[in-house]
Amino acid sequence: MVGYKFVVGNLYFMPYIARVYDNGYSQGGVLQDEAFVIEYNNDDAGSEIGLMMERRKGSNQVNDVPVNTGASPTNNPNGISVDSPVSRTDLSLQRTSFVLGREWSAFTFKMEAGFITGDLGLQKNGKGVKWNAYGIATEMNFPRPESKWEWNIKTGLATGDNPDTEDYESFHFERNYDVAFLLFNHRLGSYDVLRTGLIRDQYNSSTGAETTGVGDSLDDEAISNSAYFSPTLKYKWSEKTDLLNTITAAQIVANPISGVTVDKSLGFEWDISVVHRPREKVQWINQLGLLFPGSAFKVNSVAGSDKNFTYGFATKAAISF
Predicted pLDDT at 43: 85
The whole-number average pLDDT for the span 33-40 is: 94
Predicted pLDDT at 74: 46
Question: In sequence order, what are the beta bridge partners of 9?
Answer: none
Regarding predicted confidence, which is higher, 264 or 77?
A: 264
pTM score, whole prediction:
0.89
Predicted pLDDT at 198: 74
Predicted pLDDT at 205: 45
In the predicted structure, residue 103 carries a pLDDT above the cut 50:
yes
Measured distance CA(248)–CA(293) in Å, rounded? 11
Per-residue confidence at 216, pLDDT binned at 50, 70, 90?
Answer: low
In the predicted structure, residue 242 carries a pLDDT above the cut 90:
yes
Predicted pLDDT at 79: 67
In the predicted structure, residue 69 carries a pLDDT above the cut 70:
no
Element holding 57 (H helix, E strand): strand 47-58
So where are the chain's domains?
63-236
Longest CA pairwise span in the chain (Å): 66
In the predicted structure, residue 215 carries a pLDDT above the cut 80:
no
**Terminal CA-to-CA distance of the chain, rounded, Å?**
27
The whole-number average pLDDT for the span 107-132 is: 93
Measured distance CA(103)–CA(70) in Å, rounded? 51
Per-residue confidence at 213, pLDDT binned at 50, 70, 90?
Answer: low
Sign of the CA dihedral 299, 303, 309, 315?
negative
Predicted pLDDT at 126: 87
Question: In sequence order, what are the beta bridge partners of 139?
Answer: 110, 154
Measured distance CA(14)–CA(143) in Å, rounded? 33
3-state secondary structure of 254: coil
The whole-number average pLDDT for the span 146-175 is: 92
DSSP class of residue 199 equals: H
Measured distance CA(182)–CA(252) in Å, rounded? 16
Of the listed ranges 121-125, 244-248, 277-281, 301-305, the one predicted with least confidence: 301-305
Predicted pLDDT at 192: 83
Regarding predicted confidence, which is higher, 290 or 191?
A: 290
